[in-house]
Amino acid sequence: MNEGRTRALFPDMTSGRWSLAALVVVALAAFPLVESNQYILSVFVTTMILLVMNMSWNFILGVAGVWNFGQLAVYALGGYGAGILMLHTGLPPVLDVVVGGLIGAAVSMLMAVPTLRLFGIYTSLLTFAFAEIVQYLILNDGSGLTGGSYGFPSVKGLYSFLSPVASMHAYYWTLLAVIVASTIAIALVTRSRLGIALRAIRDAPAFAAARGVSPLRYRILAFGLSGFLAGIAGALYLCFEQSIDPSIMGLTPMSLDVTMLVIGGLGTVFGPAIGTTIVTVVETVLVNHPGVQLTVVGIVLLVVVVFVPGGIVGLVGKVRARLSAWAEEGEEGAEEQEAAEGTVPAGGTAGALDPIAIHDTTGAPTDVAP
């Protein structure tokens, strides 16, 4: 891809930002080679799985503007679907993960249909009710297919043929690759015709309809893309933990996940990464103080909602805009000062002729009519 094409697809990414992004990815890829603590690596892996899920949720919440509170159910069904395939079929584990994503996409698209004529709180209630029904059915499953409240039966996962240390590294690098690919894909979709149409439906549905944008088609597509990524995340969670249970759904995990999105910046590309990292750090540091843990997260959320409604990414954008405006004002002020001092004439270029007189090479003044 040439530089012009890259600049057209990612107009906000300068060469310096691309270099910084590449440096961050390389540093993250090298981290398992210098960190031998398996607990820390496991925290990184579970955080990255959660980040993939939050990226999918951020797309439907922030970009499409649909308050879908059933995303954790899609996440769980992707994991359960992949697990059932691993236990009862001979498919390769990688293919099971992909099918888990397809299951998430199919379920999410089906969930989108009854929400097409709903907006706001009604969409939230419907999708949350769907999540509660899924959790209830899994908890009360007496067939043994899902394991009920005891959790899904143990599976081997993606890298059972590797040693524990090598398997941890493999999961880490797999999740890092999925995050990089998902970030690029979401950025491209956001700037594509689909992303523009979704934002139009979100911000001005009447105008979008008048321009021929079909809410039915675009909303179902948004649910499908979001559900596929959530299903992949659920399948990877199952593989890494080698099991899954209904506790990954419910009001508490949903509240924490939405908090991560709001803190980072809802609807932004890098918001999920920032919010997920901050909340995970707080939870890890205060793991032995669950009451304090939730209190700190709640205080951070309150501060962000009241003082920084656009999240940390929005705050950074405002600071950059103000610094750029300040720098431009400084440059304009310097030019005006130079013009006032006669260094640069206010109405033209340097070296303009005096309208009263000029000097010839001998130094004698030569009159010029004004």
Please list the helix, strand and coil fractions of the chain in percent, rounded to the nearest 5, in that order.
70, 0, 25
Last residue of a domain, one of 203, 227, 249: 249
CA atoms of 100 and 78, how far apart (whole Å): 4
3-state secondary structure of 262: helix
User: For residue 112, is pLDDT > 60?
Assistant: yes
- Structural domain of 89: 31-249
Is there a single domain that holds both residue 319 and residue 202?
A: no
Residue 207 CB partners (closer than 8 Å, separation 6+): 200
Question: For residue 32, what are the β-bridge partners?
Answer: none
User: For residue 224, is pLDDT > 90?
Assistant: yes
Is there a single domain that holds both residue 284 and residue 183?
A: no
Point out the least confidently predicted range of 153-167, 219-233, 309-323.
Answer: 309-323
What is the identity of the amino acid at 288?
N
User: What's the distance, Cα to Cα, between the start and end of the chain in Å?
Assistant: 59
Is there a single domain that holds both residue 224 and residue 122?
A: yes
User: For residue 185, is pLDDT > 70?
Assistant: yes
Residue 240 CB partners (closer than 8 Å, separation 6+): 45, 46, 49, 157, 171
pTM of the complete model: 0.84
pLDDT tens track for 328-362? 777 666 667 767 766 544 444 444 444 444 444 44
Is there a single domain that holds both residue 83 and residue 48?
A: yes
Last residue of a domain, one of 219, 249, 279: 249
Would residue 362 count as lying in a domain? Answer: no
Inter-residue contact 77 to 104 (CB < 8 Å): yes
Instruction: Return the pLDDT at 362.
Output: 45
Would residue 364 count as lying in a domain? Answer: no
Is there a single domain that holds both residue 119 and residue 181?
A: yes
- What is the band of 46 on the pLDDT scale with cuts at 50, 70, 90? very high
Point out the least confidently predicted range of 76-85, 126-135, 201-210, 353-362.
Answer: 353-362
Would residue 17 count as lying in a domain? Answer: no
Last residue of a domain, one of 249, 279, 296: 249
Instruction: Return the pLDDT at 18.
Output: 84
Would residue 355 count as lying in a domain? Answer: no
Torsion of CA 308, 10, 273, 261, to 10 degrees: 50
- What is the band of 8 on the pLDDT scale with cuts at 50, 70, 90? low
Return mean pLDDT, the chain.
85
Q: Give the pair of three-digit tokens for residue 201.
A: 């439906």
Would residue 15 count as lying in a domain? Answer: no
What is the identity of the amino acid at 106?
A
Would residue 2 count as lying in a domain? Answer: no
Instruction: Return the pLDDT at 269.
Output: 85
Mean pLDDT of 185-201: 89
Is there a single domain that holds both residue 188 and residue 205?
A: yes
Is there a single domain that holds both residue 196 and residue 266?
A: no
User: For residue 104, is pLDDT > 70?
Assistant: yes
Radius of gyration of the chain, Cα coordinates, nearest whole angstrom = 28
In the chain, the number of structural domains is 2
Is there a single domain that holds both residue 263 and residue 303?
A: yes
pLDDT tens track for 268-292? 888 899 999 999 998 888 888 877 8
Is there a single domain that holds both residue 288 and residue 161?
A: no
CA atoms of 328 and 323, how far apart (whole Å): 9
Is there a single domain that holds both residue 235 and residue 323?
A: no
Is there a single domain that holds both residue 242 and residue 256?
A: no
Would residue 18 count as lying in a domain? Answer: no
pLDDT tens track for 114-153? 887 777 788 889 999 999 999 999 999 888 888 888 889 8
Is there a single domain that holds both residue 172 and residue 255?
A: no
Would residue 136 count as lying in a domain? Answer: yes
